[in-house]
Structure 1
Amino acid sequence: MGTQLGEFVIQERIGAGGMGVVYRAEHPLIGKQAAIKVMRMELVSPQHVQRLLVEARAVNAIRHPGIIDIFGFGTLPDERPYVIMELLRGRPLSDFVREKRRMELESVIWVMDQMLAALGAAHRAGVVHRDLKPANVFIVEAPEAPVSVKLVDFGIAKLMESRDNPLTADGLVLGTPEFMAPEQIRGGAVGPTTDLYAAGVMMFQLLTGTRPFQGESVQVMFAHLEQSPPLPSSRLAGLPKEVDALVLQLLAKEPASRPPSAEAVREQLKRIPLREPPRAPSITKPEVAIPAGDSQTPSTQDALKAIHQPPGIGWALLGALVLLSVGAGVIRLRAVPPPEPPGPETALDAGPVEPTPPEPTPPEPTTPEPTTPEAVSPPQQPRFAKEKKELRQRIQTLRKELLRRSAGSPESAALRDSLHTIEQSANYARTAKDYAGANSALDDWEDRLKQRFPPR
């Protein structure tokens, strides 16, 4: 608090995410307020700094009132980069899609139209968001101004016309599983229709209170690849047939089968019959609650059976899904054992958990009383200490091996950054299967190392 960044002085912390911490700041002379996002120290790397810089450049390339304005960029003395952006007042759309809640149709049409107007401007500027989701859509309420929608967090946006893309590599996937298009999950080429697929997932969720595919992240991703989405009207009776038709078109597996542009979707929105004119959702009160019976979600187990891959490939994605537990992640396919439900979180770098103090020491210290279950609570014991230590050692060994083989070659940057990403994601390993997944990701990384820099 009180630190001056550029022309602004930090006043208070107002939020945090996977990439960084956001503060409210104020210009000391004119009183203008701004939001400053500072990258987390543990994420500082050339790749992540470049990602933050791409976000700032992407936003400035769009120039649309529905896109958050970023007007400053800098680096702290400890090398943490930061961006200065407009301070928004209101609520993210994720606040409106709480479990068993839905929006009225008229509000859904209003939100989608405003969001698609901004998204269309981004696409015309050559920018694909690639992480479109309710948390990145902000309902803005400002004094003496109508309610509006702004798109935020272009941190993994792709500049379509850029030939040099340092943020991705072959076979890697960036995004949030629940909103990923099939081509994005496969690590293929992305474009405007990739964002429109995510818009279809969002529209389905706003209308019904649930996403089209439910379950663990792996199950959801396989469902996006293989399972036909349900009709929105199957979750909420009485929706116009035009709504079903539009949502199913947005959720088409093949990009060519989706609407060609955001403007085309806006035109289809105009043809949906409404009882009242489109209106902004209420910011001060929740939307209409869905009866419990209408919140059922389909099983995605059949999607896993439909994948034409060897047994165990379902865990291949989860093997790197720890990368997604802090936001957008990087995934590479590799077959490992089937997953287990996640257990209590144990961070790789959190260090030992302090146990409950033992019972008082008996008079003779040479024969201490055995520790009882009440003296040290089993759930508080550090779990997977051996796996944690071995994983750290392996990462260090691989880092040294990369340095030895590449001899400082510029071509090693992508491998170095991806190893750093795996290391950071492993902090969120919580079960034996999570550690197996992290090791699987390292197996795959090691294969890439051998291909790029064969043993001498």
Structure 2
Amino acid sequence: MTDDEAETRTFVYSERLAARGELLPGTMAGEYILEAFIAKGGCGAVYSARHIRTGRRAAVKVLNEAVAHSARVLDRFAREIEVLRRISHPNIVEIYEVGELDDHRPFYAMEHLEGQTLDALIKAETRLALRDVLELMEPVCAALGAAHAAGIIHRDVKASNIFICSGQPRTVKLLDFGIAKMMAPEESSTWLTTAGRMPGTPSIMAPEQILGGHIDARVDIYALGVLLHRMLVGRLPFHTHDTDEMVRKHLEETPLPPSVRVPLPPELDAVVLRCMEKQRERRYGSVEELIRALREAIGGPSSVSPGGPDPTQPAVAVYLEVRTRAGADELDEALAVDLGQVLDLAEAHLSRAGFILASITGNEVLGVRLLPGAATEERRERRAALDAAEALHEMLARRPDADARVHVNVCVHADEVQVRPAAQPEITGGALMNAGQWAPAGEVHGVFATPTATAGMTSDDPAEPTPVR
């Protein structure tokens, strides 16, 4: 490459950064020199940086130029800085320096984190093991405990605001105090949206936060209940993509216990549901009280079978997997509505058909029916499961306003499950639960049935779908 070509390439790169409103490498932010763009949000952009003398790495957050003249945005940015400087805790990001750029935009330099958000972890693993839930919740509650003790309410405790740092031991940081509220009376503490509601994320907000009334630390405890549900189940307690409907659900509906969707000890149901009580007086009084209850629920006698692994029993499963086709990279409203419709229909259909809903995530439903010992009855139950799968497939094929980008696989398989004896048996594991090992990797048209699901059935049996390979 010639010197002219290198200069031209640098110029084009710089133009591209400037067009996007991003700062160029080499820009000074106080004692820090910016090295690379990391991410951009609605109000600020974050850059990797190094201290010009010590070489210490940092992340520098700079207010976006487009909103730098908004008094409300400036107030939020200043609030975030003030909150972070008031709290010193190992699970809250540390502030190194605060200042202004040459164009008078405010910035702050903070510790540089590498890893992933809890939101990314849940999306990758669907739902988390109980020990991982406790290991992540403890530092989050410790951070909130420090904030509450300093008179600060976070108001936006969600998975995307929790960062899991790389390396061992695992370090967890609570992020984004931009809409935090000081508990002490302040003129600026009654910042409402134009709709008259407190700012925040509708899918995690407590009723009093939604209504814009007086709030205290218990709005964070409500959000922790929502977070716990998502970590344990793989999805939020209320499923809708309509904001007004989401608000209504948080104001009026009692969430289903997590154990209705996945096999969990009832003690965990009690923890989640108490966090999400509509009346704040009925929630835990502090994050310390909440984490004690969570430790007891996860480490209690119902969490681990005293006699070793739960006994196995033959069962048949109907497994539904929702896929989005090429061209569905963006989750627009129509696509989101149809995805939710498919999952809701599947849950209701399998529940009515007598299946235990052993696993429900953001794109899967696994219903299990235990099989009797007698061969004739066992075969009859498998046939009934195939019928239920066929009926589900036909119902979904006829659903109103189906989005062409959504494809649904319906599969049937028979194998063993681990069952915890109870009035309502709990499915706690087993080969049948690992759908990734027996469900097809590609799209299925019709119903997929494995040989173990159709064993002993004649080829002209109308209840027997043709297995897809």
TM-score of Structure 1 vs Structure 2, range by shorter chain = 0.5 to 0.7
Pairwise CA distance, 1:298: 5.3
1:90 counterpart (115, 127, 130): 115
Distance (Å, rounded) in 2 between the aligned partners of 1:122 and 1:88: 20
TM-score (norm 1): 0.59
Deviations 1:126-151 (A, max 9, x none): 00001111111111124xx5111110
Cα 1:10–1:252 shift into 2, 3 Å: same
Larger Cα-atom Rg: 2
Q: Does the 8 Å CA contact 1:47/1:167 hold for their aligned counterparts?
A: no
- Larger RCO: Structure 1 or Structure 2 (Cα < 8 Å, ≥ 6 residues apart)? 1
For the residue of structure 2 that corresponds to 1:83, the secondary structure is: strand
Aligned to 1:257: 282
Distance (Å, rounded) in 1 between the aligned partners of 2:258 and 2:240: 18
For the residue of structure 2 that corresponds to 1:253, the secondary structure is: coil
Q: Does the 8 Å CA contact 1:34/1:87 hold for their aligned counterparts?
A: yes
The within-5 A match list for 1:153-192 is: 153-165=176-188, 168-169=191-192, 171-192=196-217
Aligned to 2:60: 36
Aligned to 1:271: 296
Distance (Å, rounded) in 2 between the aligned partners of 1:212 and 1:178: 9
Pairwise CA distance, 1:292: 4.5
Deviations 1:258-303 (A, max 9, x none): 0000000011012124468xxxxxxxxxxxxxx647998659xxxx
Unpaired segments ≥5 residues, structure 2: 1-24, 305-318, 323-339, 346-400, 404-469
Q: Does the 8 Å CA contact 2:158/2:204 hold for their aligned counterparts?
A: yes
Q: Does the 8 Å CA contact 1:99/1:209 hold for their aligned counterparts?
A: no
Distance (Å, rounded) in 1 between the aligned partners of 2:183 and 2:344: 35
Pairwise CA distance, 1:15: 1.1
Cα 1:155–1:115 shift into 2, 3 Å: same
Q: Does the 8 Å CA contact 1:36/1:83 hold for their aligned counterparts?
A: yes
2:145 counterpart (98, 107, 120): 120
Aligned to 1:444: none
Unpaired segments ≥5 residues, structure 1: 277-290, 300-340, 344-456
AA partner of residue 160 (structure 1)? M
Percent identical residues: 37
Q: Does the 8 Å CA contact 2:30/2:100 hold for their aligned counterparts?
A: no
Cα 1:79–1:185 shift into 2, 3 Å: same
**Aligned pairs, number:** 284
1:12 counterpart (23, 31, 36): 36
Aligned to 1:151: 174
Distance (Å, rounded) in 2 between the aligned partners of 1:95 and 1:83: 25
Cα 1:197–1:298 shift into 2, 3 Å: farther
* 1:105 counterpart = 2:139: no
1:231 counterpart (253, 257, 263): 257
Higher fraction of strand: 2
2:106 counterpart (78, 81, 86): 81
* 1:62 counterpart = 2:87: yes
Distance (Å, rounded) in 2 between the aligned partners of 1:113 and 1:297: 32
Cα 1:58–1:272 shift into 2, 3 Å: same
Deviations 1:108-162 (A, max 9, x none): 11111121111111101100001111111111124xx511111011001001114
Aligned to 2:156: 131
Q: Does the 8 Å CA contact 2:131/2:298 hold for their aligned counterparts?
A: no
Pairwise CA distance, 1:167: 6.2
Cα 1:5–1:167 shift into 2, 3 Å: farther
Pairwise CA distance, 1:233: 0.4
Deviations 1:230-270 (A, max 9, x none): 10001102x11110000000010111110000000011012
The within-5 A match list for 1:430-441 is: none
Distance (Å, rounded) in 2 between the aligned partners of 1:99 and 1:224: 27
TM-score (norm 2): 0.57
Q: Does the 8 Å CA contact 2:182/2:189 hold for their aligned counterparts?
A: no
* 1:46 counterpart = 2:71: yes
Q: Does the 8 Å CA contact 1:51/1:167 hold for their aligned counterparts?
A: no
Q: Does the 8 Å CA contact 2:197/2:209 hold for their aligned counterparts?
A: no
AA partner of residue 248 (structure 2)? F
Distance (Å, rounded) in 2 between the aligned partners of 1:298 and 1:188: 33
Root-mean-square deviation (CA, aligned residues, Å) is 2.4
